[in-house]
Structure 1
């Protein structure tokens, strides 16, 4: 089963270090090259879902300018899930790239037979 794009990039944003919500939003934007935009409500709903699945855990909390800032990190299951999804996407891409390579070779072979 494939993972939603937003979920994939949220987990990917946490691969290298724990992050707080706004930092996750920024990292998702960077990693997706701007193609995935997260609103705060969407992010926190996803974090709750990922926490319930055991993919994300609360690492620490600090107070900045009178507001609590909660940091989230990946669990081993979360790390495994994002890696499995990356491998699934690589395999899916390989189907297309291999198909394109074979199709090009077939066209070259077909063209040679017709002109010979």
Structure 2
């Protein structure tokens, strides 16, 4: 599936994928997202594990380690490209919204 077809990302999906720039297990993802969002986003286990399954199927993440009670995932190059595409999309939103600071809009 082309990256463009996966945009826009939900905020939770973006943060889950962003968390996997460093190898992490599910609970580690939950903790990391809470930390980097100053507890604004608290992910549930169902959200995390459902998203991980979807990401793995789309080859956005790889399983990099597994024990009897933990699976550790990391973003793939395709996943990294998706993060960059979403960042670019968000930057465009910000740039276009800066008209609010200036009070004018150019056509």
Name the TM tier (shorter chain). Answer: 0.7 to 0.9
> Size of the alignment, in residue pairs?
98
Q: Which moved more, 1:68-77 or 1:30-39?
A: 30-39
- 1:36-115 to structure 2, matched below 5 A, reads 36-63=41-68, 68-97=69-98, 99-103=99-103
Q: Gaps (5+ residues) in structure 1?
A: 105-116
1:9 match: 15
1:28 paired with 2:29, answer no
Report the RMSD for the aligned CA atoms in angstroms.
1.4
Give the TM-score taking structure 1 as reference length.
0.78
- 1:2 deviation in Å? 0.8
Give the TM-score taking structure 2 as reference length.
0.84
Task: Answer whether contact 1:9 1:32 (CA < 8 A) is retained.
Answer: no
Greater strand proportion: 1
Greater helix proportion: 1
In the alignment, the residues of structure 2 paired with residue 31 and residue 49 of structure 1 have an alpha-carbon distance, to the nearest angstrom, of: 23
Q: Which is bigger in relative contact order (C-alpha 8 A, separation at least 6)?
A: 2
Task: Answer whether contact 1:29 1:37 (CA < 8 A) is retained.
Answer: yes
Q: Which has the larger radius of gyration?
A: 1
